[in-house]
Amino acid sequence: MTNTPIRVTVWGENLHEHRSERVRAIYPLGMHETIAAGIRDELGDGVVVGTATLDQTEHGLTEDALGNTDVLTWWGHLGHEQVSDAAVTRVHEHVLSGMGLIVLHSGHESKLFRRLMGTTCSLRWREAVDREVIWKVNPAHPIAEGVPDALVIPRHEMYGEYFDIPQPEELVFISSFSGGEVFRSGCCFIRGTGHIFYFSPGHETYPIYHQPEVRRVIANAIRWVYRPERERRRSVMSPLGWFE
């Protein structure tokens, strides 16, 4: 066993926060900083958390940065098309070789997620004041640990089916909305050796990443997508060594 902390990079496009007074009031330091703070609060010494944003050189997603990241979280919306194809390719390759990825909310339509899924990842949506209830449909799953059976988000944008994704390897949460819609809101995928969790809460005009149960889900997901064997796999040089 090792006590090496999980190195987490929280990526946020950081655009709404600069364009909307309402969003800035909820996330004065940017959504990425609130998400990062929640992870630090939940996982303490178990993590080292940094952030990266769209406006940085190579969006903060250089080969070096990704090589030093065990788990990447991704929130994007307005800036999907501004993310360079080179950066998407780099992140994609790191995921295939074992970097964990958590895609949040409108990240479903990012170039990265669509490339990993191979589908449009489109969905039904309505920006209104719906009450969302996130139901555990896999209570034994590590990502559901310590999460209420029915996690209520009092006000949220509606995301509904059909959500054009491949069948998830594991489904952890399904949401229902006051409009009657349902949505697969917590989905696990594996691509290469990389573990991916999609979690839909997080519309920018509601204080969702301040909500303790949501922070808990993200923290659980970090532990689930983290693959400590990634380092070791890369360090195996000689196949003959396997049989010694």
Cα–Cα distance measured from residue 229 to residue 28, given in angstroms and rounded to the nearest whole number: 37
Residue number, 45 or 81, with CB nearest to Zn ion: 81
Residue 206 CB, shortest distance to Zn ion, in Å, is: 9
Q: Which residue has the tokens 């990266």?
A: 52
Residue 188 CB, shortest distance to Zn ion, in Å, is: 22
Binding residues for Zn ion, per CB under 5 A?
Answer: 106, 157, 203
Residue 157 CB, shortest distance to Zn ion, in Å, is: 5
Q: Report the b/e string of 24-37 with b at 16+ CB within 10 A.
A: eebbeebbbbbbbb
Residue number, 24 or 223, with CB nearest to Zn ion: 24
Name the nearest CA neighbour of 160 among 184, 137, 138, 178.
Answer: 184
Residue number, 106 or 176, with CB nearest to Zn ion: 106
Cα–Cα distance measured from residue 187 to residue 164, given in angstroms and rounded to the nearest whole number: 12
Cα–Cα distance measured from residue 69 to residue 40, given in angstroms and rounded to the nearest whole number: 15
Residue 63 CB, shortest distance to Zn ion, in Å, is: 31
As beta bridge partners, residue 241 has none
Residue number, 63 or 127, with CB nearest to Zn ion: 127
Residue number, 76 or 98, with CB nearest to Zn ion: 76
Cα–Cα distance measured from residue 178 to residue 218, given in angstroms and rounded to the nearest whole number: 24
The residue with its CB nearest to Zn ion is 203
Residue 122 CB, shortest distance to Zn ion, in Å, is: 14
